[in-house]
Amino acid sequence: MLDVARTAQVSVATVSALINGTTRVSPALTQRIEAAISAIGYERNAIARSLKLGATNTIGLMVSDIRNPFFTDIVATIQYALNRVGYAVMVCSSDENTELQDMQIKLLLDRAVDGLIIAPAGEDVMLKDFLASVRRPMVIVDRTCEGLDVDTVTLDNRKAVLDATSYLIGLGHRRIGYIAGPLITSTGRDRLAGYRDALAAAEVPYVDELVQDGDSREAGGYRAAMQLLTQRDRPSAIFSANNLMTIGAMRAIRDAGLSCPDDISVACFDDFPWADVFRPHLTTIAQPVQAIGEYAANLLLDRLSGKADEAPRRLVIQGRLIVRESCRALARP
């Protein structure tokens, strides 16, 4: 910029004024400066600018598993919403690994991001303390982080699973297997709570062995389903608490030589972008993913534009049970 100023025989202040439009610059100088800029091939140094301005116009986004279609969609939506208003997005995926997660957040913070959107992999003590010490605008999405007073966008997981389980019960099912996500996540806990709520409401006894941990990945879902399917008194229905585990569960059902919904009913959490390639079409709880992403982006944008000390806002979105063809009514004995 100094070079430009020299070439155009003006001061750097004038060049800066022109570039940023802060002040009117006379046509004569404007022309000289623009000529100098293209002659030299000058490009504004964004780092110096950020140093001066104290903002990078960049936000950090950390999800627990970017390959999970749900999070892919979240990332895409947020990235798009933020780009539109001039923010760049730095993305990390913790792969459901709490240690990696801490490292990645540090990496993000170390890049001086203006704000953070986080879908926590789980609540190790570290994370909570750590995030609490971060003084930058932040919103937590999908899963909450107990005791952390920041903006959040979450689904009403408990209610959603209550609905789905009640639907299964309404169909006559009593032994309903449940493939659970990690209980270190709020989603894992809330969804399980919804399952128990439904059982309690219908006075169906809760059976420990019907709840199997699926660790939120496909392989875990497979194992959990197998566990369920090989019990002497096999459940007549299974609820799977997220999309990837469902894929594993469906595979297990096939491998066990069973057929859904003829031998066993399946309902699950999370709809798929390509739901109809699945056979049978799955009855699921759909999350309004795009809306969730937009809300998260907007909450952060609000914080970024000054609303620093308002009380945290906690948005809770309702899921929607989509009945398709993977559940069958149980003939009463």
Contacts with a second copy by CB under 8 A lie at 41, 43-48, 50-51, 56-58, 66-67, 72-73, 75-76, 79-80, 83, 86, 88-93, 95, 103-104, 107-112, 133, 218, 247, 250-251, 273-274, 276-279
- Piece in contact with DNA (CB under 7 A), picked from 8-16, 162-170, 230-238, 320-328: 8-16
Return the HEC string of 198-240.
HHHHCCCCCCHHHEEECCCCHHHHHHHHHHHHCCCCCCCEEEE
Q: Smallest distance, Å, CB 316 to DNA?
A: 38
Mark residue 309 as left, alpha or beta (left: phi above 0; alpha: psi -120 to 50; beta: remaining).
Answer: alpha
Show the beta-strand stretches assigned E in 78-147: 88-93, 115-118, 138-141
Q: Considering CB distances under 5 to 8 angstroms, the limit depending on partner class, which of DNA, a second copy, none binds residue 29?
A: DNA
When asked if residue 145 is in the footprint of DNA (CB under 7 A), the reply is no
CA atoms within 13 A on the CB side of 246: 27
Q: Whose Cβ is closer to DNA: residue 42's or residue 87's?
A: 42
Contact call for residue 12 and DNA (CB under 7 A): yes
Query: Based on CB atoms, which residue is closest to a second copy, 8 or 250?
Result: 250
Assigned token pair, 59: 């936000």
135 binds DNA (CB under 7 A): no
| Cβ nearer to DNA, comparing 40 with 193 | 40
Q: What proportions of the chain, in percent to the nearest 5, are helix, strand and coil?
A: 45, 15, 40
Beta bridge partners of 60: 90, 116
Q: Which residues 41-80 are close enough to bind DNA by CB under 7 A?
A: 42-45, 48-49, 51-54
Peptide bond just before 205 cis, omega within 30 deg: no
Which residues make up the interface to DNA (CB under 7 A)? 1-2, 9-14, 16-17, 19-20, 22-26, 28-29, 42-45, 48-49, 51-54
